[in-house]
Structure 1
């Protein structure tokens, strides 16, 4: 990992420790600010829609003006979001924080993935993605306990102030990095414009319909996200309402998953580089499908611990391989918008999935939603193995053919 990438990862850890301090507790804060249960649901529905409006634009801007510059712009929006969280007089005003926070995530996430690709050689890219995401998992382990302690003993406002300070520190470093990056490169002759955005979208659209690896990533990812969203939002309800696990036990299960992911990300990245991305993806999804099958057939904490450990290992195998695969089949000048297009399109497709899963739970059986990810994964495994093979032609040639 380069020094610049290490500093960038440091800012990601700082910013996301701040985010993980409050995200698990945000429903309680919205309720404390005067919202009833239905209004809490409305709040999070809007929260899910807001990123969709920014992700493609954020990815395009990342391609146009530079990764670090786009991250810096998004970070300013994130700082404004924390201001809204601290000073909002009612839950309605918190929606402003949701929108600005969505802008931050939509600008940072595509740039984060693309920046790692550009700061790592192709032959070790999977390993670098694995190391980066292993470091990133620290935030899921330390952020929630810090947020829980501060909010419990000093109140939600104090928690958001501490998170604001952490995120603000990350933003200052990002602004300095963006300034240094601007000084070290020759300005582009072509300024960002909507014509350029349309050309990028057309080129990305060509990749999506060309029938190559990008097409099959999009199809499989859309199906996977939809079916998994139908059931994974119901995991805590199933474990507590039907099995009787406590909140503390469910929290420990989340920690087990995060720790397993962190431990296996680096070797998973190595596996991706040595044996190819599709092996990690197929093995990872096989483990997750097996974990879901075990989930609906166990009734003890130790069984659920095994399930969540498998979830963590499966995710560790999939994530660096997926990111490395996308970075290799998408031209460098389209990587930012590619991550934005994937996130937005798949987010739109899977948006109603949690509601559909809840209806299946209520009208048929609580176990029924969990069969969908098992079946679709088993159907997609041979497709992934056959289609997720790096083409001999370059991505630019694939765009030209499209």
Structure 2
């Protein structure tokens, strides 16, 4: 592992600890602030919109001005957003903070691009999934603390505590080195990406897969608390088990060929949904949360497979487009989940299983046939130093 990958992993470990403190409890806190199931779904949809609209501009900008500049802005604004969520006196101001927090997800495209460039001898899939595992190691600790502290001191307190590891993460991220900017020799920098039919087909398939995986997830904490009588502390513990699953599954599936991992992750999430729907106790839910880690793995493998369909010079833009497509899933799924939940709290689960069955068929039938529509030339760019090695 290279020096910069170690720094990124450490920074994400700290951020995972901070986010893990509250992320699994968000639906419960929104409910506590007065939101019903449909409103919670709409709030998550709005947050996803704010996240989605930033990916392409951030990815393209990182290709032009350098990845670290954009990443640093994301880390700092994320810290500010966490402070706003903690200080929010009511639902409206909390939602403003939550939307601001999701706006800072623009860091993902340049971050993935940075990891790809800094991976050394590792494959893209291994680098992305290993760094993701580091994030989730922190989330394990955060989720355990969040559930315990939330039950003892109230849910609002976990947002205040989350500021500490997020601040530490930001300080570490600012130590990263700048990477050279890759300048294409030919005009029409983005034409090759926008005309890449194979990339478009792959992202269409990936969006169906991820929608089926995610649909049942947004209101699962509410389902467990209100229908299955699971306590806040137990939900926090389930969150830590989910993070543990992400770590172990990332480190194992991330070493496989990306296509195989993509198929396996769908099977894992399908089993997870089935356990949530038909499980009869916390042990079943724990196994479900462990297997649900397949969703995040599928996201990482979506990025890894997209990388193989394009040239390196446009990585930031392509990763931005990929994150935007995945963000659209996060926009559409929560409101639909809220409507299904209103009809019946368990309804999102069989609907998700049906979609996953179809997506698995499409994946095994069509994904192996997708090849780059044009030859990928990796030596058509110059490396331009940023001349700002000491800047944050």
TM-score scaled by structure 2? 0.79
Corresponding residue for residue 193 of structure 1: none
Corresponding residue for residue 181 of structure 1: 178
Q: Deviations over 1:288-326 (max 9, x none)?
A: 3344445545434444444444433x4576455433322
Change (3 A) 1:303 1:145: closer
Corresponding residue for residue 320 of structure 2: 340
Q: Deviations over 1:38-93 (max 9, x none)?
A: 76665444322211221211212222222211111112212321342344444333
Structure 2 residue corresponding to 1:266, chosen from 251, 268, 280: 251
- Tell me whether 285-294 or 384-393 shows the greater mean CA deviation: 384-393
- Tell me whether 108-117 or 141-150 shows the greater mean CA deviation: 141-150
Contact 1:151 1:159 in 2 (8 A): yes
Give 1:392 deviation, angstroms: 8.8
List gaps (5 residues or longer) in structure 1: 191-195, 398-402
Matched, 1:380 2:362: yes
Structure 2 residue corresponding to 1:204, chosen from 189, 193, 203: 193
Matched, 1:61 2:61: yes
Give 1:253 deviation, angstroms: 3.9
Contact 2:214 2:295 in 1 (8 A): no
Task: Report the Cα distance in structure 2 between the residues aligned to 1:93 and 1:86, rounded to whole angstroms.
Answer: 10
Matched, 1:283 2:264: yes
Change (3 A) 1:305 1:154: closer
Contact 1:18 1:166 in 2 (8 A): yes
Moved over 6 A (4+): 187-190
SS of structure 2 residue aligned to 1:329:
coil
Corresponding residue for residue 232 of structure 1: 217
Contact 1:54 1:102 in 2 (8 A): no
Q: Deviations over 1:147-173 (max 9, x none)?
A: 345555566666444433332232233
Matched, 1:13 2:2: no
RMSD: 3.6
Contact 1:361 1:368 in 2 (8 A): no
Aligned residue pairs, count: 374
Corresponding residue for residue 102 of structure 2: 102
Task: Report the Cα distance in structure 2 between the residues aligned to 1:295 and 1:122, rounded to whole angstroms.
Answer: 39
1:74-223 → structure 2 map (5 Å cutoff):
74-106=74-106, 108-121=107-120, 124-151=123-150, 159-177=158-176, 180-181=177-178, 185=180, 202-207=191-196, 210=197, 212=198, 214-223=199-208
Task: Report the Cα distance in structure 2 between the residues aligned to 1:319 and 1:350, rounded to whole angstroms.
Answer: 12
Contact 2:45 2:330 in 1 (8 A): no
Q: Deviations over 1:223-260 (max 9, x none)?
A: 12333333333544555555555555544444333323
Change (3 A) 1:303 1:219: same
Task: Report the Cα distance in structure 2 between the residues aligned to 1:139 and 1:120, rounded to whole angstroms.
Answer: 21
Change (3 A) 1:168 1:243: closer
Change (3 A) 1:262 1:142: same
Q: Deviations over 1:314-349 (max 9, x none)?
A: 457645543332222222222222222222234335
Change (3 A) 1:131 1:44: closer
Q: Which has the larger radius of gyration?
A: 1
The structure in which a higher percent of residues are helix is 1
Contact 1:127 1:267 in 2 (8 A): no
SS of structure 1 residue aligned to 2:255:
helix
Task: Report the Cα distance in structure 2 between the residues aligned to 1:281 and 1:188, rounded to whole angstroms.
Answer: 30
Task: Report the Cα distance in structure 1 between the residues aligned to 2:232 and 2:327, rounded to whole angstroms.
Answer: 28
